[in-house]
Structure 1
Amino acid sequence: MNVVTPPPFSGPAAPDRVAFDRVEMGVILTVYGRMVAAGEWRDYGISCLREVAVFAVFRRTAEHPLYRIEKRPKLRQRQGMYAVIGMDGQVLKRGHDLKTVLRVLEKKLIRPVD
């Protein structure tokens, strides 16, 4: 009989991948729905990776994403785990609260009336 001893200092296991929870998806899809209704966006993609979850927004299906909404839990104690990144890779807004981070996208809906 073999006895397997547990490794020392085994804490809670880290998740295999990062994902958006139901509340976060509700906030993101609310903004997405408004932008689709305005005719700005047409498609999206979701990636759940080991260190980051990404919600990518596309104008057309075969393009590069216009915006990426990222969740990086490792940055929770620093600049905040949510970020909106533009097409060129520039961080447009980063923070701890998803709703305030997504406000940078809602500014795109405000247009002057002719």
Structure 2
Amino acid sequence: MAKHRVYTISFASVYPLYVAKAEKKGRTKAEVDQIISWLTGYGERDLQAQLDKKTDFETFLAEAPQLNPSRALIKGVVCGVRVEDIAEPTMQDIRYLDKLVDELARGKAMDKILRRN
């Protein structure tokens, strides 16, 4: 079976869209980076290195230093699909990131987004 097209998309091509979505709603690039770091374990330099390499989404997640085990607490709908019901792990992690950025853009507090409460 062929890979889903989103796996081969460069993370660097999607990242500015995440930032733009957040900034349009009064949030910051730093907050987007904090979300990415929380989910994947990438620090600032490692994230920039992945962006510079134009790493595809699948590799970006596969090479993540530490996928946060609390990501399983992320619930809700992205693109009409419940993230907790997605069976394929890589797709689920991509949708988790989408959901977190959506929550940021909707004005949710960072402690709630990062599942600290």
Q: TM-score, normalised by structure 2?
A: 0.34
Q: Which has the larger radius of gyration?
A: 1
Higher relative contact order (CA 8 A, sep 6+): 2
